[in-house]
Structure 1
Amino acid sequence: MFKHLLPRMRERSAAANRPVSLSDMMEEFWREPFGNLSPLFRDAGYPAVDVSEADGVVTVKAELPGLDPKDVTISVENDALILRGEKRFEDEQKKDDYHRIERAYGSFSRVVPLPGKVKEAEAKARFEKGVLTVTLPRDAAEAVRNIPIEGA
């Protein structure tokens, strides 16, 4: 019955640059279910990381609760820090029947872009209270150089 109306509704949605009908909203949802969420949630990965820089040192902090340092490998490739590891499900209580399991388990890999070249040989990592802290000194040869502007 409404089949002949759908093309006209879509034309109005395209002209308005937003969904006009419920059918357009549903189609948009099925095309990209989480497209309307903020980029903070859409681009989130595991583990959650903070990247900062001070005094020529890049610091990356990653939350890895429940893991040991032996469960994680760290490497630097193509101006990116790569964190890999596995969080294992250790069912110590074999007799327990779980009603809900919300914690994530399994392998993970996270590529964290670095703000420039770093000295991989001088990188250091520390694991404390479930937080992995990696410090990477910037490569002085790749430092930002200001270019003076000549006036007329």
Structure 2
Amino acid sequence: MQTTGWEDEFREYVTARGPALLRTAHQLTGHPLDAEDLLQSALTKTYQAWERIEDRGALDGYVRRAMVNINISQWRRRKLEEYPSDELPEQVSCEPAGTSEVHEALEQALRELPERMRAAIVLRYYEDMTEPEIAKTLGISVGTVKSTVSRAMAKLRTALELPAP
């Protein structure tokens, strides 16, 4: 099977950046299998648009934005399908063996954050994006990014029982 140059370029990009993008997807979803599905969907969208993406330096941003958009869309669909129940579901932990207690507590606290807060924290502290970059990625104002990150950090500190700065 013969491939075109851009297909090889796409394959190289996925090979090189896939693990980092998967970590971002995991932080957005809070679950490894959901993260794989999210990344696959985002890479499918990227593959379809590959020839139209002129700035190859912006590929990570394109994929991250696709992941955020897809995750929010899925969350909105799920929100409509979920109904309150008197019984709590059993909690399943999918954390890798050997993970420290602090890391586990942080992962749990991140999973409990609302979608926008989680996305803002992941983009700011895991992807090391600036506030203007986060605002552009999430389609919100810089002020909203600042307040969202601040409120999210306060919730994380409370959940982890850390003192305020």
Q: TM-score range by the shorter chain?
A: under 0.3
TM-score with structure 2 setting the length: 0.21
Q: Identify the structure with the greater helix proportion.
A: 2
- Give the strand-richer structure, 1 or 2: 1
TM-score computed with the length of structure 1 as normaliser: 0.22
